[in-house]
Amino acid sequence: MSMTYQQQYMLDAVRGRAAILDLTARHNRCYSDGDRDGWVATFRHSGARFVRDGKVFTDLRAAFDGGAQQRLVTVDHEISVDGINASQRCIGLLFAVDDAGLTTLRATGVYRDQLVYERGSWYFASRELRWDSVPTGHPLMM
């Protein structure tokens, strides 16, 4: 039984969404593990950029600040797939783990991503992170 164009389009979009969620999870794990090469590999091979609080990085290796007992988690994913292009908006939660194993929330922020499907996989073409401002002395930041 063959699918209609609309059914195929929807199936491709669902497959793309699942692959983008996997890509984002891999990106977060590499960040948390301090795996710079793995983190960079989640971006397209040429022309990718990362923006953190308005600072633009085209050298992705210079943008990496992961590891150091930090854990990055993303939630509330809103993904739109259109053929080989996609966009994602999600919330980032950055946790710090101290030497005693106590985990505290360090920061929250919003990711806005542009993605591209090339060479059989999804990659970030651009990833923009804007950290939320937190007042000094806020109980979540202590």
Average pLDDT over residues 115-140: 84
Domain of 55? Answer: 5-141
Termini Cα distance of the chain:
59
Question: Which residue bears the tokens 């000094």?
Answer: 136
| CATH number of the CATH domain containing 32 | 3.10.450.50
pLDDT at 118: 96
pLDDT at 134: 60
Q: Report the predicted TM-score, pTM, of the whole model to 2 decimal places.
A: 0.88
The model's confidence at residue 142, banded by pLDDT at 50, 70 and 90, is: very low
Q: How many angstroms separate the CA atoms of 138 and 96, rounded?
A: 15
DSSP conformation class of 1: -
Spell out the residues 6+ positions from residue 115 whose beta carbon is closer than 8 angstroms to its own.
Answer: 20, 23, 85, 86, 87, 88, 122, 123, 124, 125
Domain count, the chain: 1
Tens-digit pLDDT profile for residues 49-79: 999 999 999 999 999 999 999 999 999 999 9
The model's confidence at residue 41, banded by pLDDT at 50, 70 and 90, is: very high
Average pLDDT over residues 10-31: 95
Question: Which residue bears the tokens 């854990």?
Answer: 71
